[in-house]
Chains A and B, each alone.
Chain A
Amino acid sequence: MPREGNARKGALLATVLFALAAATAAVADDTPGVTATEIKIGNTDAYSGPASAYSVIAKLESAFFKMVNDQGGVAGREINFISLDDGYSPPKTLEQVRRLIEQDRVALLFNTSGTACNSAIEKYVNQKQVPHLFLGTGADKFGDYQHYPWTMGFQPSYRTEAQIYAKYILKVKPNAKIAILYQNDDFGKDYPTGMKDVLGDNFDKMVVTASYETTDPTIDSQITSLQAAGADVLLVAASPKFAAQAIRKAHDLDWKPLFFMTYTSTSIASVINPAGAQNAIGIISAGFVKDPADPNSRNDTGMNEWRDFMAKYMPGADTTDGNYLFAYAVSKAMLQVLKQCEGNFTRENIMKQAANLHDLELPTLLPGVRVNTSPTNYHPIRQLQLGKFDGTHWVPLGDLVTGAGN
């Protein structure tokens, strides 16, 4: 009798154990990249090649997650941030992302950079149903929640920015002749497109454009042509090196147009100072991140929080580089999403929480700029603040403007 009882107990125990194992396995599969002690986050960035200037963003993100871990992690788990080099090559990005998802088994992708690189992985990532959050690009196309429900951008789109400039120009100089210098890639081309959105049929009459390749040594010829065309407004949609060249050349040519600059090249350290701060007086740009050179920022709690972080976790980094402020903001947004998950780290829930940010205020964003997402709005930041450079820092110009988004 006792042996039968033992056998039945054994069977029951075995069944329970098997069920538990099955359940655990099932639970483990539900939260890929997440265990009881760890959350894996994947990222690709250009650590080599011409776009490497932006790799500082990934470096800050790595330091940020280290800080989070030092403070106890999220929901008791440490964040394991895996960042791989893709050399700004779309086929390589796909390979690295496949490695992150299939081999390293990350829970989500965060702030992968490069427009073409993200285009290369968009379909694959959505097929695999991996949250593809806060892309490091302002291209307008990312945020198409209907076709790519797992991909979400972050920064205001370049096209929106150009639309805002166009509206401003029509307000202050309705008969202007506009010149656009743009980088011949998906970043630069968004600017003439955005202008055209607002100017419509008048675009061909009012606008003259010149493009350049990143392999061009200088853009002096383009600036000379644009001035010769009689333009009195200039929009420069260029990466930092060429933006600095444009400012200097316009100054050399004694050309003082109403000067607009893309927000990606407003850094005082990497653009304004090399070009000569006095040459940049009067330049208008739009931004959503605070200006580290602003003397008022010394008493700003958000900026001081960022400064403390930089001093402790990124000593020696150039604190006048606006990229670090942007990186801090997007990292804080990611942290918010993780916190909102409240321990439930299935990919579905991560995506759900990413699409559930309401009026989120971040320490390094300009006052009034809020992060907002919803299941039908995948453009987290849509507000921009126009600003004018006065020789030392960017002074706000007017109120916050909201773009239409996609």
Chain B
Amino acid sequence: MQGFLHQLLSGLANGGIYASLALALVMIYQATHHVNFAQGAMAMFSTYIAWALIDAGVPYWTAFGLTLFFSFLAGVAIERIIIRPVECGPALTIVIVFVGLLLILNSLAGWIFSYTIKKFPSPFPSTAWYGSKYLSPHEVGMIVVTLAVLILVFLFFRFTPLGLAMRAAAQNPVSSRLVGIRVGWMLAFGWGLAAAIGAVAGMMAAPIVYLDPDMMSGILLYGFAGALLGGIDNPWGAVLGGFFVGVLENIAGAYVVGTELKLTVALVIIVGVLVFKPAGLFGRTLVARV
């Protein structure tokens, strides 16, 4: 029983990492109705910027803030410069541009920062009253930060005019333009916010998984799965989905099949759930109009 509890806690810790990236994916989806496959790579690159700042002597929270700011600007710039030319094109074309972006960011990070892993500091102390053997203070802190970002995202989309405008721009660009919404800039803003959230995800994950150009590739898959499982248009669902995936993965590995097939079983279960609930556990089912 104790072992089970430990695996559960360990799963929640992993799930926290997936949930934070899932939030970035939800943000970009709600703002643009595309899933950015390069989100993980962008988060990784932001984390490297933060690392470089900290390495140069900048204090942690200043570096954190600067990184969020730069990431936001970079997200806006990427949308306006790289994505804009293909925005109105076929959906697959946009997906391929995301893939290209992913390759470029990964390769650049490896070239500039080398492939050796780097240690990334945590803002949380190594021992604290809220930590334990199975859930370190940083992991607890990361979960709290993820939930805080979740609440902010939810409040933003639900209760602010800007959030409403962004959702409108994604759902119905034509009508949005008619009511005066600058659709192009809404998309760019969405990208900026998603990049900033991704940066938070990366900076929270890096102390646990260590910083290297491939840091986010495994996390992206699970984050994506978690987001879809919970409902890609629902931030609460995505975060819950992320936690669920983390716990599922750990339990599957420890009790169901052993580590040799852990990944396979976890994915089979996720896809299985989606087959039964195609819009995700908490997503809204779309009904097609004839």
Task: Say if the two chains contact directly (CB < 8 Å).
Answer: yes
Name A's B-contacting residues (CB within 8 A): 48, 50, 52-53, 55-56, 184, 210-213, 215-218, 220-222, 224-225, 228, 240-241, 244-245, 252-254, 269-271, 273-274, 318, 321
- Besides A218-B208, A221-B7, A225-B259, 17 more A-B contacts (Cβ < 8 Å) are A210-B259, A215-B217, A215-B218, A216-B262, A216-B263, A217-B219, A217-B222, A220-B13, A241-B117, A241-B210, A245-B208, A245-B210, A252-B136, A270-B116, A270-B117, A273-B119, A274-B118
Question: How many residues from B make CB contacts under 8 Å with A?
Answer: 41
B249: which of A55, A211, A221, A321 is its contact (CB, 8 Å)? A221
B226 within 8 A of A: no
Segment 187-234 of B: residues with Cβ below 8 Å from A = 205, 208-210, 212-214, 217-219, 221-222
B209 touches A217 (CB 8 A): yes
Contact call A274/B119, Cβ cutoff below 8 A: yes
Decide: A220 near B10, CB < 8 A? Known: A241-B210, A252-B136: yes
Give B8-55 interface residues, CB cut-off 8 Å to A: 10-11, 13-14, 17
Smallest beta-carbon distance A307→chain B, Å: 19
Please, how many angstroms separate the alpha-carbon atoms of A220 and B259 in the complex?
Answer: 12
Residues of A within 8 A of B269 (CB): none
Q: Which residues of B contact A273 (CB under 8 A)?
A: 119
Between A210, A218, A225, A273, the greatest number of chain B beta carbons within 10 A of the residue's beta carbon is seen for A218
Taking CB as reference atom, which chain A residue is nearest B9? A224
Nearest-neighbour CB distance to chain B for A180, whole angstroms, equals 11
Say which residue of A274, A318, A321 sits within 8 Å of B210 (CB atoms): A274
A56 to B114, CA, bound (A): 9
Which residues 266-283 of B sit at the A interface, judged by CB distance below 8 A?
none
Point out the residues of chain A lying under 8 angstroms from B110, CB to CB: 48, 52
Q: Smallest CB-CB separation from A239: which chain B residue?
A: B117
> How far, in whole Å, are A240 and B249 apart by their CA atoms in the complex?
23
Question: Do A225 and B222 touch (CB < 8 A)?
Answer: no
> How far does the alpha carbon of A48 sit from the alpha carbon of B134 in the complex, in Å?
35
Complex interface: chain A residues within 8 A of B262 (CB): 216
A244 touches B117 (CB 8 A): yes
With A184-B260, A274-B118, A318-B116 in contact, do A217 and B14 touch (Cβ < 8 Å)? Answer: yes
Question: Which residue numbers of B lie inside 8 Å of A, CB to CB?
Answer: 2-3, 6-7, 10-11, 13-14, 17, 107, 110, 114-119, 133-134, 136, 205, 208-210, 212-214, 217-219, 221-222, 249-250, 253-254, 258-260, 262-263
Tell whether, in the assembled complex, residue A222 and residue B133 are in contact, meaning their CB atoms are under 8 Å apart.
no
Chain B, interface SS category = helix
Q: List the 3 shortest-distance A-B pairs measured between CB atoms, nearest first.
A: A274-B119, A53-B115, A228-B3
A216, B116: Cβ atoms closer than 8 Å: no
Given A241-B210, A253-B133, A254-B133: A217 and B115 within 8 A (CB)? no
Instruction: Flag if A222 contacts B134 (CB, 8 Å).
Output: no
On whether the beta carbons of B214 and A321 are closer than 8 Å, the reply is no
Given contacts A212-B259, A245-B209, A254-B133, contact A218 B117 (CB under 8 A): no
CA–CA, A65 and B28, complex, Å: 49
Whether A225 contacts B7 in the complex (CB less than 8 A), given A213-B263, A270-B117, A274-B119, comes out as yes
- A252 and B133 form a contact (CB under 8 A): yes
Kindly state the separation between the CA atoms of A270 and B211 in the bound complex, as whole angstroms: 11
The answer on a CB contact under 8 Å between A244 and B210 is yes
A184 to B208, CA, bound (A): 21
Are A211 and B260 in touch, CB under 8 angstroms?
yes
Q: Closest chain A residue to B115 by CB distance?
A: A53
Which residues of the partner chain B approach A216 to less than 8 Å between Cβ atoms?
A: 218, 262-263
With a cutoff of 8 Å between Cβ atoms, the chain B residues found around residue A318 in the complex are 114, 116
Alpha-carbon separation in the docked complex, A130 to B212 (Å): 36
Instruction: Give min CB distance, A275 to chain B, whole Å.
Output: 8
- Report 30 cross-chain contacts, Cβ distance below 8 Å, ordered by A residue: A48-B110, A52-B115, A53-B115, A53-B117, A56-B114, A184-B259, A184-B260, A210-B253, A210-B259, A216-B218, A217-B205, A217-B209, A217-B218, A218-B14, A218-B208, A220-B10, A220-B13, A220-B208, A221-B253, A224-B134, A224-B250, A224-B254, A245-B210, A253-B134, A254-B133, A270-B116, A273-B119, A274-B117, A274-B210, A318-B116
Q: Is the CB of A53 within 8 A of B116?
A: yes
B241 to chain A: closest CB distance in Å? 16
Taking a contact as CB atoms closer than 8 A, the residue among A56, A212, A224, A274 that contacts B7 in the complex is: A224
The interface residues of chain A lying within 8 Å CB-to-CB of B14 are 217-218, 220-221
A215 touches B117 (CB 8 A): no
Q: Report how far A31 CA is from B203 CA in the complex, Å.
A: 55
